[in-house]
Amino acid sequence: MFKDVNRDNFFYDLSGKISDQYYPNIHSLIISKNGSLIFEQYFKGHDQNFGKDTGIVMHTSETLHDLRSITKSFVSACIGIAIDKNLIKNTGQKISDFFPEYNFHGEKALWNIYHFLTMTTGLKWDESLPYHDHENDEIKMTHSTDPVRFVLDKPLAGSPGHNFNYCGGATQILAEIIERSSDLSIENFANEYLFSPLGINSFEWNKFSVWNGSHKTAASSGLRLTSGSLMKFGMMYRNNGLYNGYQILTPEWIKESFTQRMEFPSLVAEGHDGYGYQFWMWKDHITDREINIVAAKGFGDQSIYWDLENDLTVITTAGNYDKPDTKNNSYAILRNEIYPFLLDN
C-alpha cells in the first residue's frame, strides 16, 4: 500500500502529536486498512468511569474504557440479532406488544421499533443541554428510579416517524424490549450472542444504581470495552456481519443499519448529517475527494469511523467528556492526518 519507511515516519510523527497534546487527551488510536491492522497505540490521560473521575490512567490494550453513546450502536446490533432469532418480528413491530402493562394513548399507540432505532419517537426530549445540567433529559432518566417508565411517560412533542431528535431514552426502551423478548438482561444477551462470538471476554456495563436506586443497565451510555474489542465490532460491520467465520449479524441488517433514515444540518462537516439505526453518517471532502463516513460516536470523543469505499476503519477513545467543542478531536486526526497520508501514498 505504501512504503514502510513512510508509514513508520508518519505514525511516529502522529504519535508525537498525540503525546504532546496537539490532539488533546486521546487515549487510544487503532487503524485498519483493507482489513489489516496497520496501527495501534495507547496513551496516558485523564479519564472517567460513567461520570466518576478516575484520574490519570496509563491506557493499554487491556484497559476497559467508557464507550458512552457508542453503547447505542451495540444495542442496535442486539436488536438485529433478536430479529434474526425471531424474538422480535421486525422493525415495524409495535412497542405496545412488549409493554402490556402500559396503556398507550393517541399517537404513542403508533410507536414501533423503527421509531426508536432512528430517534424519531416524537418525544419531548431535550438532550442538547450539557450532561452536567440536571435539566438534560438523559440525566433526568439516569437519576430516575424507574428509567423505562420515565421515558414512556414523557409527552409527545410531535408525531412519531417525522423528525429526528437525539434521545438516549429511545435506546433504553430498545434494551428493555430485548430483555422482555429474550428473558435475558441486555448484558447477558449481548455477552451470549455478540461478545462471545466476537471473542470479547472482558467488559463492564454500568447500571443506573451508580446514581440512583434502579438496577437497570444504562443501555444508552454505560458499556465499557477495550479499544481492541471496539475494533472487533468495527470489523464485524466492515465484513457484513461476519467475524472469524461466524455470521453474527445478517448482511441485510448491516445494510439497513448503515442506511440514512433522517437528515439534518451537519454538526461535523458542511452540508447534512444522517442517522441510521443508532449510527451517524455524513459526507466530507478531503484532499479533493468526496468521503462517505459512517460512525458510532460517544461523549468524550469515543469513535468508530467506517469508510467502506476506501476500506478504512478507525477506533479512538479519549477523555474529553466536558469538552464537546475540542477543535483537534479524533475526527481532526482522521481528516488532517490519516486521510491525507493514506490517500496520497
Q: What is the pLDDT of residues 289-311, one digit of tens each?
A: 999 999 999 999 999 999 999 99
Task: Look up residue 130 and give its three cell numbers.
Answer: 450539557
- Residue 4 sits at φ, ψ, to 5 deg, of -60, -40
Task: Summarize pLDDT for 273-286 with one digit per residue, the tens.
Answer: 899 999 999 999 99
**pLDDT for position 213:** 66
The closest alpha carbon to 186, from 145, 141, 217, belongs to 217
Q: Which pLDDT score, from 0 to 100, does residue 271 have?
A: 76
Residue 270: the pLDDT is 74
Contacts of 184 (CB under 8 A, 6+ apart): 178, 192
Q: What angle do CA 76, 80, 83 make, to 5 degrees?
A: 135
Report the C-alpha gap between 139 and 126 in whole angstroms. Answer: 10
User: Whole-angstrom Cα distance, residue 314 to residue 302?
Assistant: 11
CA 82 to chain CA centroid, Å, is 18
If residue 117 lies in a helix (H) or strand (E), which one and from where to where?
helix 113-117
Check residue 2 and give its pLDDT.
46
Element (H, E) at 333: helix 330-333
Q: What is the pLDDT of residue 6?
A: 85
Contact at 8 Å (CB) between 206 and 54?
no
Q: Give residue 267's pLDDT.
A: 73
> Cβ contacts of residue 305 below 8 Å, gap of 6+?
293, 294, 295, 312, 313, 314, 330, 331, 334
Low-confidence ranges of the chain (pLDDT < 50): 1-2
